[in-house]
Amino acid sequence: MRTSTTHYTQEVDRKVQMKIFHELAEEIYPLFEQYQIAYPIIKIRRMRARWGTCQYRKGVIILNSRLIERPREFVKYVLVHEFAHFVQPNHSKAFYKVIEEVMPNWKGIVAHEKENFANR
Ligand SMILES: [Zn+2]
């Protein structure tokens, strides 16, 4: 009984998480209009060392489930970062130019997150 309740709760949580992540992704997607990328498939996974990753050839973005506890601005940054990989798969200057363009305040968001997120 207990196990099934827990399982049910996790499933609901995942649905709620997915809804929130998609709401944020939909906010960001229009910023990439000029790059004509496809709206991504979003997957959620618990990851140890990364906030997000992407399979750019498949149009898949994988988000860390723990992002749900982070400020929405930071989640948006992670999404922007992964979206930008659909334009530039590496971390080249051109990649950061894309980020700079769609999210000019990204450095502040990342710095703020580093200051406030100590229990990593
Ligand atoms: Zn990256």
Q: Tell me the average pLDDT across 82-91.
A: 97
Tell me what the pLDDT averaged over the chain comes to: 91
Q: What residues are paired with 45 via a beta bridge? A: 64
Give me ligand 1 centre to Cα 15, in Å.
25
Query: How many of the other CB atoms lie within 10 Å of CB of 18?
Result: 15
Residue type (1 letter), 91: H
Report how far ligand 1's centroid is from the alpha carbon of 90 (Å): 7
Residues 1-46 have pLDDT tens digits of 555 556 667 777 889 999 999 999 999 999 999 999 999 999 999 9
| pTM for the predicted model, two decimal places | 0.89
Q: Which two tokens stand for residue 49?
A: 């060392």
Burial (CB < 10 A; 0-12, 13-18, 19+), residue 31, is middle
Report how far ligand 1's centroid is from the alpha carbon of 12 (Å). Answer: 29
Kindly give the distance from the C-alpha atom of residue 11 to the centroid of ligand 1, in angstroms, as a whole number: 28
Give Cβ neighbours of residue 65 (< 8 Å, ≥ 6 apart).
14, 17, 44, 45, 46, 47
- What domains, with CATH codes, occur in the chain? 2-116 (3.30.2010.10)
